[in-house]
Structure 1
Amino acid sequence: MATITRTKSGTWKAMIRRQGWPTTIKTFRLKRDAQDWARETESAMVRGVYIPRAHGERLTLDRALDRYRLEVTPTKKASTASRETDLAVPLRTALGKYSLAAITPDIVAEYRDRRLAAVSKKTGRPMSASSVRLELALLGHLYAVAIKEWGLGLTLNPVQMIRRPSPGEGRNRRLTGDEEARLLAAVDAHSNPMLGWIVRLALYTGMRQGEILSLTADQVDLDRRVVRLTETKNGSARTVPLSRAAVDVLREALASPLRRGTSLVFPGDPRKDGTRRPYTINRVWRFALARAGIVGLRFHDLRHEAVSRLVERGLSDQEVAAISGHKSMQMLRRYTHLRAEDLVDKLG
């Protein structure tokens, strides 16, 4: 039976003690609300369908994100963990004070629409649909973990009940005209030859920026003309074949005195503690683009260019996927935009 008592502050506390269930307590402003809640809760207990929601009602999203960062984020790759810290910022700002039980699908849908209409502080442009999708993915996974593992009494993942922004068709930026020659001339003019080697390797192999920068000497086999990647974006190791041009780039990089004291193929300058971390490319990449007079080109577009060239050489989808590491043909085709003028000769 429920016990309803008045507190010193003038509110009404309902307490239910029932065999087989934990003691359940909730406070209300009105006695009638306390009585209604006690009656409904006891009925659910009798029917065996009661789910304790007190923890979910007390835990705010802000504190839930802290717990997620401590328990779940460390199981992910360092790059993903770093990105999630940034993704959590707008979620904390907009929804951090809500309890997990109070966040409903309509609240998440409103958040989605406000974010899509917002302007990015980094770029000054409207938020991309992909960025908002990543924020919603983080929120959705937090709820999935909370429901399955945290025992908060939550039964609904509000992110699953809303429409997510379309990811769009993806980028199809290719090098045009003399852009490749201008780009290579610009990176070669940089004081550190690492930049030129990295850009060429991206063009010749289609490897991702992170895969190139984290490359170590023991992963490179110049005799067999392959690079063995153990840490990749999708978690699957793969072996990348090397063209003769790529072999020449890696041979020159491995022989460089700039590598002294490290196994990294492309190390940055030594830190104060003497450690060598991967070369940092973002800032010098922007300078190189400005020097070359190239607009709208991202480093990842070099991977797009490389994969598209593999297709244009006549390699099958399976062969290209084995080199690039794409797990699905649908994702691969987003990178293989063929230029019509390159197909004219094949048509006859």
Structure 2
Amino acid sequence: MATFQKRGDRWRAIVRKKGHPAQSKTFSTKARAKAWAKSVEGGIEEQAAGGGVSLGSMTLGDLLDLHMAHLDRISSRGRKNKAGDRTLRKGLGEETLLSELSYSKLADFCTTRRDVDGVSASTVKSDIMHLSGAITTGTVEADLPTRLKEMMATWREGLRRAGLIGSPQSRDRRPTDKELGDLLTHTKHNKALRRIRYNDLIRFAVASCMRLDEICSLRWEDVDHEAGTVIIRLRKHPRQKTDQEVPLMGESQAILEDQPRIDERVFPYGAESVSNGFRRICRHLEIEDLHFHDLRHEGISRLFERGYQIQEVALVSGHRDWGSLRRYVNLRAGDLAKKDRDR
């Protein structure tokens, strides 16, 4: 038997059934509370018949909470996971029951992301894959019916065929020598940019081949000055938390040691702030389509150009799959022709 209580401008539903623990949840409307209570009661009956957890007994917010806790145990959430979580909660609604998910609802979500938010099909795919991962977590950890996971796979294929989600295009952008020179000159002499040491960050990104999140997370305690190495904590990995010791290549150790010790971090800046500022600098210099992450691409490509073997580059870049390094090996055709002529 379900009861409903008005609490301010929200409604609390309470379901009590003999032989089962009481369940309660608060919603923004009474209609939502009633729908949830009805689904919970139906789910209890399904369980009694051996049917497992009802999709109507869990909201999208509950599922995402479960998934984020799962990710926190096995990996680093990272900005992408947090962004995907926020986007799904806002776009699909935290109070949406899992039983209300459908292809049309996901298609509307994807269309809005593309047409209103102006994001690419690959970004939308990232959101959908976060939802798909959450559903997998739910089937494993909350005994959700496996049919939801099967339906999600079908919905993903439909969204792909409709062009609403897609894989990212391989990016091979590298700064030209002039662009890199302009960036370093501007960041060295512009006093307004001295709060964040962009000149050092740009040079360090190219020399170390690190991601921006990794750079902004480096701690002094993880630097081995004698060995010329540093430990990157929770380095990007799809399935687990992992720390990695990497060599400080080129001028990266000198740049690192030149930083003032004002914080436990070597570069005590927010990655998002650095990224936004870098875009503004590029606009000011009229440098088009250059991302801070492209500096990592530049650094990795330079290592190959200097003759390092793929296993050596992988030790610096952190790639577990050597095959994935192919997208970073973007040797300029002109450079290869010159090398051949000089032999």
TM-score (norm 1): 0.70
TM-score (norm 2): 0.71
The equivalences for 1:107-126 within 5 A come to 107=104, 110-111=107-108, 114-115=111-112, 117-120=114-117, 126=118
- Do residues 237 (structure 1) and 243 (structure 2) align? yes
Give the 3 Å change call, closer, same or farther, for CA 64–224 of structure 1 in structure 2: closer
Return the alpha-carbon distance in structure 1 between the equivalents of residues 140 and 127 of structure 2.
20
Per-residue CA distance 1:186-233 (angstroms, 9 max, x = gap) = 111243272211111101110111211111223223333222323311
> Residue 322 of structure 2: which of 314, 329, 332 is its match?
329
Per-residue CA distance 1:54-105 (angstroms, 9 max, x = gap) = 3x22323244334544x4354365652x54343234433554354323424x
1:156 alignment partner, SS class: helix
The equivalences for 1:17-36 within 5 A come to none
Matched with 1:51 is: 51
The equivalences for 1:281-292 within 5 A come to 281-292=274-285
Q: Is the 8 Å Cα contact of residues 114 and 121 (structure 2) preserved in structure 1?
A: no
- Do residues 298 (structure 1) and 268 (structure 2) align? no
Once the 2 structures are TM-superposed, how far is the Cα of residue 318 of structure 1 from its aligned partner? 1.5
1:239 alignment partner, SS class: strand
Structure with more helix by fraction:
2
5+ residue gaps in structure 1? 1-16, 23-36, 121-125, 269-276
Q: Is the 8 Å Cα contact of residues 130 and 167 (structure 1) preserved in structure 2?
A: yes
Residue identity opposite 2:83 in structure 1: D
Return the alpha-carbon distance in structure 2 between the equivalents of residues 154 and 244 of structure 1.
51
Larger radius of gyration: 1
> Residue 209 of structure 1: which of 212, 215, 229 is its match?
212
The total of aligned residue pairs comes to: 288
- Do residues 131 (structure 1) and 123 (structure 2) align? yes
Matched with 2:256 is: 250
Matched with 1:147 is: 139
- CA RMSD, aligned part only? 3.4
Return the alpha-carbon distance in structure 2 between the equivalents of residues 200 and 263 of structure 1.
21
Matched with 2:34 is: none
Matched with 2:180 is: 180
Matched with 1:60 is: 59
2:246 alignment partner, SS class: strand
Return the alpha-carbon distance in structure 2 between the equivalents of residues 65 and 279 of structure 1.
23
Q: Is the 8 Å Cα contact of residues 228 and 237 (structure 1) preserved in structure 2?
A: yes
Per-residue CA distance 1:135-168 (angstroms, 9 max, x = gap) = 1111112211221221344533132223243313
Return the alpha-carbon distance in structure 1 between the equivalents of residues 88 and 231 of structure 2.
38
Once the 2 structures are TM-superposed, how far is the Cα of residue 108 of structure 1 from its aligned partner? 6.2
5+ residue gaps in structure 2? 1-17, 21-41
Give the 3 Å change call, closer, same or farther, for CA 219–140 of structure 1 in structure 2: same
